[in-house]
Amino acid sequence: MDDKLEVFVGDLLDINPNIDVGLIEKAYKTAEQMHEGQLRKSGEAYLVHPVEVAKILADLGMDERTIVAGLLHDAVEDTPYSIEDVKNDFGAEVALLVGGVTKLGSLVFESREERQAENLRKMFLAMSKDIRVLIIKLADRLHNLRTINYMNEDQILDKCRETLEIYAPLASRLGIYAIKFELEDIALKHLDPTSYYKLVAEVKIKRDERRTSIDKVIAEIEDALKDIHIEYEITGRSKHFYSIYNKMKYQHKQLEEIFDLTAVRIIVDTVKDCYAVLGVVHTLWKPIPGRFKDYIAMPKPNLYQSLHTTVIGETGQPFEIQIRTWDMHRVAEYGIAAHWKYKEGASGNQEEVKLAWLRQTLEWNQDMNDPREFMETLKMDLFSNQVFVFTPKGDVMELPAGSTPLDFAFKIHTDVGVKCVGAKVNGKMVSIDYVLENGEIVDILTSNNSRGPSIDWLQIAKSSNARSKIRQWLKRQDKSQNIDKGKEMLEKAVKRKGYDAHEFIRNAWMSRIAKHMNFASVEDLYMSISYGGVLISKVVGRLQDLYDVEKDKEIKPGDEELIEKANKKKTVSKGPQGDVRVAGVDNLLIHLGKCCSPVPGDEIIGFTTKGRGLTVHRKDCTNIVNLPESERGRLIEVEWNISDKEGTYDAEIYIQSSDRKGLFSDISRRCVDMDVNISGVNLRTNTDDTVTILMTLSIANTSQMEKVLRTLRQIESVTDVYRARTL
């Protein structure tokens, strides 16, 4: 073991003596080999970065596989090492974590914003499967910020803005304040260096004075706690610079006006002890009205719990005291990462609560096709502080700050939101755009005769959950009218480009565009256009691409006759009845499986269906190979019975090829030469200038099939030809 590896493993063992050293060493050596010769902008070996990320993850108490993923997280993006290699070497779990952190490097996007949005969508999807993906990403971002001085100024500013807009709020959502605070302070130092260094200097001037004051407070608390005989630990805490900066900037306060610039933190064993200590503190100093917060009875959305009280000291200077248990302290420092560090005390239900916001984000994400809208809504959802209000029955509802009764109504249920006609707050009627405040009791008034949401509701609602449900409702209303409106808007845009709208907008092209943009149908795409959910310019651009490609693939003179000649060569296709024999069984309804399209000569097997007779499959059909053990009793041996019969059977093949003029003409001519009928064609153009063609051919037997595959593989630009649904 080399010296650097030995030091690295030693550091990890200091944190977790039970760590799997062999697994860590293997990952370290793999990363070392893959990144060999690569340097960071600082000039140091690139391996330093994944090693430091792994150390941050270890400090958070993450498990071995997360640390391994931290070591390998850049290998897939920057080296020939693939996700499949990760899976083979370290297992599917590590591969999922690494894949979730890897950027979408190979795709082309129209803007930096679109790339950022798609990378975040990919990460959120991976997070929904395993939240450790985000923890790795936060560790990666933290080390990159620690070494950000080596980037150029524009890159530094972009990374720091993105950190404050996305990653620090995500760390806050997970309750990982140890990372959140450092991310924010580093970003502030680069985005507003004048304010940052001025603040550092101002805080430093009175540091000794505050230290003396805090030591005196701690001594008084320790003396008072002797009488209640509990175990405790007391420490002083300084507020991080970005938090002070925000209060001074947005609350227009001077440094002396910030009560919690320094604080005393008291950690005890039980919740009962928390309230006992609070009583002692309030007998020592007078609490400031309105400055007491009970986050134990009402935790923050990320499950942060603590008692906060601000009191007036003997000199008249206010200071904050925080009281919490050890379990609460671990959650406050490590957030969701505490689940892995202290597994024996983790609550599955609590983890579900923490990730509820993630599930909601994934839900509204599916309705957004504009990356700008996605980014703005994500930032709004992450940045917003929370307001806590009550139902008439006393249930607590958490909403983004600035929420209205509409947000509250849709939080309860979609039907309540749709039928909302007004609200009562603390027993008084209010309008639906009333801004809710902490502690208010909200009662939603509904009516079955309500006209439902209008477009104005999107301006009134503040939560992503309510806005998403309002959009969904609007999409379902007046569907045909919205479809016609969207189509008309697109046609006008096309005409402005100088194209003939009817020729330019073909349904086949629109279907491909709808699928590419993740719409279920062309109608849904038209509706989205009608209410501004997708940019018309983007659709027109896609249409232009298709128009140009299709013009290049115009059928040449004479090709029509060639295709017609191929169709005239049809032979009578015989059905399966009598062509397949089941030993000892007569008069059995038999049909061939469409999933694998067996032809004479294929090894076949029968599957007894419920009420539809026997379906015949190829033995290598994926549906047969992957058949559950509980269903395999329904398989039955069959054989071909076609010794003297003539006939053909539909069989599907795939053709992969570079896109070029005359490709389909060459394929058709070869099929005519082999006396093979083409009974169906489906062509898909790929983003890498290749095409995938699915063809349905009338085939007599496997010998003819092999000849077809061999012949078509010899066509210019064709890279592969294979039968459908084989392993």
Q: For residue 684, list its beta bridge partners.
A: 692
Q: Where are the beta strands (DSSP E) in 401-514?
A: 420-425, 428-430, 442-446
Asked which of 32-41, 537-546, 661-670 is least confident by mean pLDDT, the reply is 537-546
CB burial of residue 163 (10 Å; 0-12, 13-18, 19+)? buried
- Cβ within 8 Å of residue 272, ≥6 positions away: none
420 residue type, one letter = C
Residues in the chain: 727
CB burial of residue 715 (10 Å; 0-12, 13-18, 19+)? middle
What number is the average pLDDT over the span 338-352?
43
The percentage of residues in the chain with a pLDDT greater than 70, rounded to a whole number, is: 75
What pLDDT was estimated at residue 551?
A: 47
155 residue type, one letter = Q
Classify the phi-psi angles of 495: left when phi > 0, otherwise alpha if psi is within -120 to 50, otherwise beta.
alpha
- Cβ within 8 Å of residue 584, ≥6 positions away: none
Q: Do residues 336 and 175 touch, judged by C-beta distance below 8 A?
A: yes
More confident residue, 404 or 555: 404
What pLDDT was estimated at residue 727?
A: 38
What pLDDT was estimated at residue 631?
A: 77
User: Which residues in 624-634 are b (16+ Cβ under 10 Å) and which e?
Assistant: beebeeeeeee
Geometric angle at alpha carbon 234, from 228 and 238, rounded to 5°: 145
Q: Do residues 385 and 400 touch, judged by C-beta distance below 8 A?
A: yes
Catalytic residue among 2, 6, 36, 77: 77
> Hey, what are 551's tokens?
């013009």
More confident residue, 517 or 645: 517
What pLDDT was estimated at residue 570?
A: 33
More confident residue, 85 or 236: 85
Q: For residue 388, list its beta bridge partners.
A: 398
- Cβ within 8 Å of residue 59, ≥6 positions away: 15
> Hey, what are 517's tokens?
């943009």
pLDDT band at 557 (very low <50, low <70, confident <90, very high): very low
pTM, two decimal places: 0.49
Q: Which of 395-399, 420-424, 658-662 has the highest mean pLDDT?
A: 420-424
Instruction: Reply yes or no on whether the pLDDT at 105 is more than 70.
Output: no
pLDDT band at 116 (very low <50, low <70, confident <90, very high): low
What number is the average pLDDT over the span 477-497?
78
More confident residue, 388 or 78: 78
Asked which of 46-50, 209-213, 249-253 is least confident by mean pLDDT, the reply is 249-253
Instruction: Reply yes or no on whether the pLDDT at 366 is more than 50.
Output: no
Mean pLDDT of the chain: 77
What number is the average pLDDT over the span 141-159?
90
Asked which of 383-387, 605-609, 713-717 is least confident by mean pLDDT, the reply is 383-387
78 is catalytic: yes
Can you state the percent helix, strand and coil of the chain, rounding each to 5?
Answer: 50, 15, 30
Instruction: Reply yes or no on whether the pLDDT at 173 is more than 80.
Output: no
What number is the average pLDDT over the span 252-267?
75
Instruction: Reply yes or no on whether the pLDDT at 333 is more than 80.
Output: no
Q: Which of 672, 685, 661, 682 is nearest to 711 (CA)?
A: 672
Instruction: Reply yes or no on whether the pLDDT at 114 is more than 70.
Output: no
Q: Which residue has the tokens 């209205």?
A: 404
Q: Do residues 272 and 299 touch, judged by C-beta distance below 8 A?
A: no
pLDDT band at 48 (very low <50, low <70, confident <90, very high): very high
Rg for the chain, CA atoms, rounded: 33
Instruction: Reply yes or no on whether the pLDDT at 187 is more than 90.
Output: yes
Instruction: Reply yes or no on whether the pLDDT at 108 is more than 70.
Output: no
More confident residue, 152 or 532: 152
Catalytic residue among 20, 78, 118, 162: 78
Distance CA 58, CA 341 (A): 9
Taken in order of first residue, the domains within the chain and their CATH numbers are 199-348 (3.30.460.10), 385-456 (3.10.20.30), 479-552 (no CATH), 559-569+646-723 (3.30.70.260), 580-640 (no CATH)
What pLDDT was estimated at residue 566?
A: 38
77 is catalytic: yes
pLDDT band at 106 (very low <50, low <70, confident <90, very high): very low
Distance of CA 417 to the CA centre of its chain: 27
pLDDT band at 99 (very low <50, low <70, confident <90, very high): confident
Q: Where are the beta strands (DSSP E) in 457-608?
A: 580-581, 590-592, 604-608
